[in-house]
Amino acid sequence: MSTTPADVLKMCKDHDVKCIDFKFMDFPGLWQHFTVPVSELSAESFEDGFGFDGSSIRGWKGIEESDMLIMPDPATAMIDPFNAATTLSLVCNVVDPITKEKYTRDPRNVALKAESYLKSTGIGDKSFFGPELEFFILDDARFSTAAQHGYFYLDSEEGRWNSGREENLDESGYSHNLAYKPRHKEGYFPVPPTDKFQDLRTEMMLIMLECGIQVETQHHEVATAGQAEIDMRFDTLTHVADKCLLFKYIVKNVALRHGKTVTFMPKPIFGDNGSGMHVHQSIWSGGKPIFAGNGYAGLSEMALHYIGGLLRHARALCAFTNPTTNSYKRLVPGFEAPVNLAYSQRNRSACCRIPMYSSSPKAKRIEWRCPDPSANPYLAFAAMLMAGLDGIQNKIDPGQALDKNIYDLPAEEAKQIKKVPASLEEALEALAEDHEFLLHGDVFTQDVIDGWISYKTSAEVTALRLRPHPHEFELYFDI
């Protein structure tokens, strides 16, 4: 049952709400917000919106187009679990105040247009996405760059490197290091006391449930230093993207309550596994799954063509699904992340996996394993859907499945398999060359594509290219 403006106003009254917090997205993928007294919210607010200054929002157009409106979505209403004053949170779309058209660089609007485009094709009426976000829970995170220095320093009570550290000093100064710190790449799934964050992850999970995120499981991940995963139940594209942002908000704030910090960086720690965001996806029509069939791994012809679209456009997709320079520290051939553009049932060494846990047609889906949690979920999910739809519309053949451990293939055979880009710069170049499929139905506009490439190139690729890297001093200082 959908929530109406009247329902939201009733929630405010029933919970004695004091404030309304409006959340919206910047271009790269972080929530922004501002707050008004509850007296400012009325039924008309959902049609008239609230004005704000968009001139300083990352990736948006300049000061000459800074006046913007946010339009609250009543379906996203919830009581914020972290504010001292009782606050009702609403996720918003951004609208041009003059034309009243949806702002093209608002990522949520892109996601909504992708869902509308799916319906217009007649292929299906719902697209379901199930992302698996991984992250690190840390005790210390320090970093700084300037003309004469650049460094980062991370620490965690669980970090294997602390196995010899003096800890828990008593009154006499004697150290009690209680050990039980996961070895590198052996954090999947130890019980406490090696897993030191069971209670913290459970608290995160329970708050997610209170806020309307249906959680399936939580567990320690592979890496040392508190790597974690909490899996939410799949939902329709825009709704699950909303939940990704709420997920991050909850995880970071619960960690802060306990004197911890969290990062969703794909590769914050050298020599151990990075954090991915595997994305399960399927399309339904009239209440029936269209990915189930009698083909390979129980897939329909449409599902195989959807995979064909993902594989064909994979290098361009990486500009949205792996959108940071740090993303490509994780996507390195021969290491833990899937970089090979192939598909296979059960096989986690391929970029595209078909899960085989259940024979039920309702469970039939594909899992795209390249993405990471630095992605803007609205743009990433919309781009994947558009690639898959292009595959279905053009009957793109995905080729033969590769049911082998790709990591162990002979060098000559491995060379024949195409791979994801090796850098953000390569991914942006691929997007510049291959984005026509994203423009269908005006889902991604040319302005969005150009703006994304321009922002990412100047703010990230060039910024990193200009700066010395700390490891370069290890390699070259005495040259």
Residues known to be catalytic: 53, 132, 134, 221, 229, 278, 348, 367, 369
Sequence-distant (6+) residues with CB within 8 A of 246 are: 78, 208, 211, 212, 213
CB distance 111 to 438 below 8 Å: no
Residues listed for the chain: 479
Strand intervals (E) in 77-236: 78-79, 87-95, 126-138, 140-145, 150-155, 215-220, 227-232, 235-236
CB distance 155 to 269 below 8 Å: no
Distance CA 296, CA 350 (A): 15
Q: Taking Cα atoms as reference points, which of 376, 356, 383 lies closest to residue 367?
A: 356
Q: Taking Cα atoms as reference points, which of 260, 246, 238, 229 lies closest to residue 81?
A: 246
- Residue 326 tokens read as 């740090």
Cα 405 from chain centroid (whole Å):
26
CB distance 54 to 66 below 8 Å: yes
Q: Taking Cα atoms as reference points, which of 143, 177, 174, 173 lies closest to residue 158?
A: 177
Q: Taking Cα atoms as reference points, which of 366, 385, 387, 388 lies closest to residue 377?
A: 385
Sequence-distant (6+) residues with CB within 8 A of 476 are: none
Distance CA 237, CA 189 (A): 30
Instruction: Give the CA distances from residue 163 to residues 159, 170, 173, 343, in Å, rounded to whole numbers and listed in that order.
Output: 8, 18, 18, 40
Distance CA 202, CA 207 (A): 9
End-to-end Cα distance, the chain: 68
Taking residue 103's Cβ as centre, other Cβ atoms within 10 Å add up to 22
CB distance 118 to 136 below 8 Å: no
Instruction: Give the CA distances from residue 394 to residues 65, 350, 390, 391, in Å, rounded to whole numbers and listed in that order.
Output: 39, 23, 6, 5
